[in-house]
Amino acid sequence: MSARSIRRAAQRQASKMARPANPSLASVQPEIPAVESTTGAAAAPALENAAISEARLAANRANAQFSSGPKTAEGKAKSSLNAVKTGLTGRTVLLPSDDAIIYQQHLDRHFSEFSPATDKEKALVQTIADTEWRLLRIAPLEAGIYAIGRLELADQFATHSDPANREALLLGKIFMTYRKDLGNLALQERRLRNQRKADVAELQQLQKDRLEKHQQDLQRATALYKDAQKRGLDFDPAFFGFVFSIAELSGHIQHEQAKSFAAGASSELNNEQFAAYLAQWRSRQAA
């Protein structure tokens, strides 16, 4: 075969590979220019490989536009559930059989119980609630394993007349048959409980540190505010980097005075002022 024949065969092969399955892509396919050989038959294999590689690259890029995964929210949700088995691992929390309303109520209870104030605290409460949701699956899954065992193995002990003995034999057989599955459930339960315990401890430490810092900042800001009042100066908490308002500082001072009065210590309040403050405080607590 001559060099010219080889070159033409390579061009035809490249054009065939570059042609998309969808006719609408024909307009975007790069045209492969004809290249005249300068080295005769020896250059034909290199020309053929180069043309095919370029055409294959162009075809791959075009076809990739049609395989970028699910586009709709429903499609993405289904794709995310592909690896879900027992619902005890992975990032998916809600299974198709779960009630989203009950899950939201479960989540609301956790946020109400832990009262997170920062983004990190909220993320930890979310994780704790999700871990607890997975833990709630353990008992139904274990019951399901034993229910399946009863259906599949009950006939093996039908001849035993003693019901108690038959039941004991059946439970033992179910356990031996599904030991691996039951053991995996126990392993997952320990893992989830340890994770929840660690997350709760981290959350409590974060909240403790936050509240301690808040109290320290409040005490410092109050001392500066009192000093400014004595000196007849305006006081702006933000100037010192505090986020408190003057009303908050005044309320804190009044509360401390009321506690001192109630404890019999030195206080600027009299009986009437203390009674009025206590009534306001009780009203706020009841609200």
- Domain positions in the chain are 3-64, 97-210, 245-286
Kindly state the percentage of the chain with pLDDT values over 70: 68
Identify the pLDDT of residue 38: 46
pLDDT higher than threshold 50 for residue 110:
yes
Q: Return d(Cα 13, Cα 11) in angstroms, integer.
A: 5
Rounded to an integer, the average pLDDT of 156-169 is 83
pLDDT higher than threshold 50 for residue 95:
yes
Q: Return d(Cα 55, Cα 49) in angstroms, integer.
A: 10
User: What is the pTM assigned to this prediction?
Assistant: 0.58
Most confident by average pLDDT, 55-64, 216-225, 263-272: 216-225
Q: Which residue has the tokens 């995964």?
A: 69
Identify the pLDDT of residue 155: 85
- Alpha carbon separation from 50 to 10, 19, 37, 42, 55 (Å, rounded): 9, 17, 13, 14, 9
Burial of 233 from C-beta contacts in 10 A (0-12 / 13-18 / 19+): exposed
Structure tokens at 34: 């004809």
Higher pLDDT, 19 or 265: 265
Kindly state the percentage of the chain with pLDDT values over 90: 40
Most confident by average pLDDT, 79-88, 144-153, 201-210, 257-266: 201-210
Comparing 67-71, 89-93, 107-111, 240-244, which segment has the lowest mean pLDDT? 67-71
Neighbouring residues of 235: CB distance < 8 A, sequence distance ≥ 6: 224, 225, 228, 229, 246
Structure tokens at 127: 């994780």
Neighbouring residues of 278: CB distance < 8 A, sequence distance ≥ 6: 258
Position 109 confidence tier, pLDDT thresholds 50, 70, 90: very high
Structure tokens at 217: 């900042």
Q: Return d(Cα 197, Cα 189) in angstroms, integer.
A: 12
Most confident by average pLDDT, 7-16, 22-31, 79-88, 243-252: 243-252
Distance of CA 113 to the CA centre of its chain: 20
Position 79 confidence tier, pLDDT thresholds 50, 70, 90: very low
Burial of 270 from C-beta contacts in 10 A (0-12 / 13-18 / 19+): exposed
Identify the pLDDT of residue 90: 52
